[in-house]
């Protein structure tokens, strides 16, 4: 209910702001050429979104949207946003609720960015002093990124039970990437103001940026479990082997958690495998929220997960295991086609090096045996190998 109210608030605010800006256009308006070129470039860039392994995406179209906020009249901006989304909408087939919210969010952000720029800059962009132009441009970029991220993070918070901070939208990686792309838009606008043909020289750096963003996506895809986005079993084994060597060299402990989902078969039989998939993905989200940034969760397949806790002695590992167990037991999972929300529990086994074992194979085996004992004792508990 809250999410729906928020959706309509953002959408109606965007429609109102767009209508007001369009109504202020003069009878004979110039700038159609810039509008057409920037819209075409933004629409093309939107076809090549880079998805990260942390449920985030990076759009090089931001450069052309920010440029539009600087060189176009406000009445053009809503049209630019709407039209640049259409090819990607057709290609990716996102739900209309999601895409319409994105359109409303981006419309509000770009109109605010344009207002911020023109509040600090004069009407004649080409004749502006360099310092004043740069300051106004940076204000536009910061305004666009701030509004876009805050509005989106709030929607994710309302629809996924994740805090705004946990969305990752305010991480250094996310903010710096979008701010950098927006800053490139200042250059696009400057080139256009001097000579429109010059903006095509920006395409080279944008292609390099896109490639730089895309390479980590390929690496993450090779390392990740398809269903959850967590590390896959093969890559996890390699990571644990490196931790074994590091722990021996530094004489530090580390722990392994084996997390076994209780009664997944009953959920699949009662509600279908799609409901089971919702639960599995939801548990992966709990790991992302509850673990430390340097902990490494992985999916071993089926209903089994494994977590590497670097430099973690038994007592601290036991507290982390209990925190995860409790968070999963308290979590409500919503699956399409089910009349009631789903609740699940997990059994967790814990093993620590060097107390329980010193090799990767034996540590995982000891943690697995402990998880089996936890399940045999009724589930929804954590048990140490010792």
Give the model's pLDDT for residue 125.
Answer: 54
> Which homologous superfamily does the CATH classification assign to the domain defined by 231-384?
Reverse transcriptase/Diguanylate cyclase domain (3.30.70.270)
- Contact between 337 and 274 under an 8 Å Cβ cutoff? The reply is yes
pTM, entire model: 0.59
In the chain, ranges of CATH 3.30.70.270 domains: 231-384
Taking 50 as the pLDDT cut, the residues of the chain under it are 53, 218
Per-residue model confidence (pLDDT) at position 212: 63
Angle between helices 130-160 and 2-23 (to 10 degrees): 150
Rounded CA separation 112/122 (Å)? 16
CA 318 from centre of chain: 30
SS (H, E, C) 23-83: HCCCCCCCCHHHHHHHHHHHHHHHCCCEECCCCCEECCCHHHHHHHHHHCCHHHHHHHHHH
Tell me, what's the pLDDT at 223?
58
Which residues belong to CATH 1.10.1760 in the chain?
A: 2-223
Question: Six-digit token pair at 83?
Answer: 């039209």
Tell me the pLDDT tens digit for each residue of 115-170. 999 888 865 555 566 678 889 999 999 999 999 999 999 998 888 756 787 777 88
- pLDDT score, position 149: 93
Strands 254-261 and 304-309: antiparallel
| Per-residue model confidence (pLDDT) at position 346 | 94
What pLDDT, in 10s, does the model give residues 155-204? 988 887 567 877 778 888 788 888 988 998 998 888 888 777 777 777 77
Minimal CA–CA distance to 310: which of 371, 236, 227? 236
Q: What is the CATH class of 2-223?
A: mainly alpha
Cβ atoms of residues 146 and 179 within 8 Å: no
pLDDT for residue 336: 74
Instruction: Tally Cβ neighbours within 10 Å of residue 7.
Output: 18
CA dihedral 75, 79, 84, 89 (to 10 degrees): 140
């Amino acid at each position: 209910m809250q999410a729906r109210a928020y959706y309509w608030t953002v959408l109606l605010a965007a429609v109102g702001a767009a209508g007001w800006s369009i109504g202020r256009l003069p009878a004979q308006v110039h700038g159609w050429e810039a509008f057409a070129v920037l819209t075409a470039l933004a629409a093309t860039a939107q076809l090549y979104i880079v998805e990260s392994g942390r449920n985030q995406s990076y759009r090089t179209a931001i450069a052309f949207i920010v440029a539009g906020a600087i060189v176009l009249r406000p009445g053009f901006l809503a049209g630019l946003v709407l039209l640049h989304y259409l090819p990607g909408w057709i290609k990716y087939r996102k739900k209309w609720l999601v895409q319409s919210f994105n359109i409303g969010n981006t419309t509000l952000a770009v109109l605010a960015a344009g207002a911020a720029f023109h509040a600090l800059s004069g009407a004649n962009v080409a004749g502006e002093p360099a310092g004043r132009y740069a300051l106004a441009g940076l204000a536009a970029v910061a305004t666009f990124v701030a509004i876009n991220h805050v509005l989106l993070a709030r929607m994710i918070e309302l629809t996924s039970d994740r805090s705004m901070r946990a969305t990752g939208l305010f991480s250094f990686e996310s903010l710096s990437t979008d701010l950098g792309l927006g800053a490139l838009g200042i250059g696009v606008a400057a080139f256009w103001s001097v000579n429109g043909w010059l903006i095509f020289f920006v395409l080279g750096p944008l292609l390099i940026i896109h490639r730089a963003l895309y390479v980590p996506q390929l690496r993450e895809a090779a390392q990740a479990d398809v269903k959850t986005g967590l590390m896959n079993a093969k890559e996890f084994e390699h990571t644990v082997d490196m931790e074994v060597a590091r722990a021996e060299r530094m004489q530090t402990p580390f722990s392994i958690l084996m997390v076994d989902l209780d009664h997944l078969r009953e959920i699949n039989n009662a509600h279908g495998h799609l409901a089971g998939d919702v639960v599995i993905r939801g548990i992966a989200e709990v790991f992302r929220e509850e673990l430390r940034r340097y902990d490494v969760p992985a999916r071993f397949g089926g209903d089994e997960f494994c977590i590497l806790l670097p430099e973690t002695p038994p007592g601290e590992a036991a507290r982390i295991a209990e925190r995860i167990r409790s968070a999963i037991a308290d979590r409500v999972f919503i699956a399409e086609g089910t009349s009631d929300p789903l609740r699940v529990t997990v059994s967790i086994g814990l093993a620590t090096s060097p107390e329980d074992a010193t090799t990767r194979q034996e540590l995982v085996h000891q943690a697995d045996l402990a998880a089996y004992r936890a399940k045999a004792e009724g589930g929804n508990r954590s048990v140490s190998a010792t």
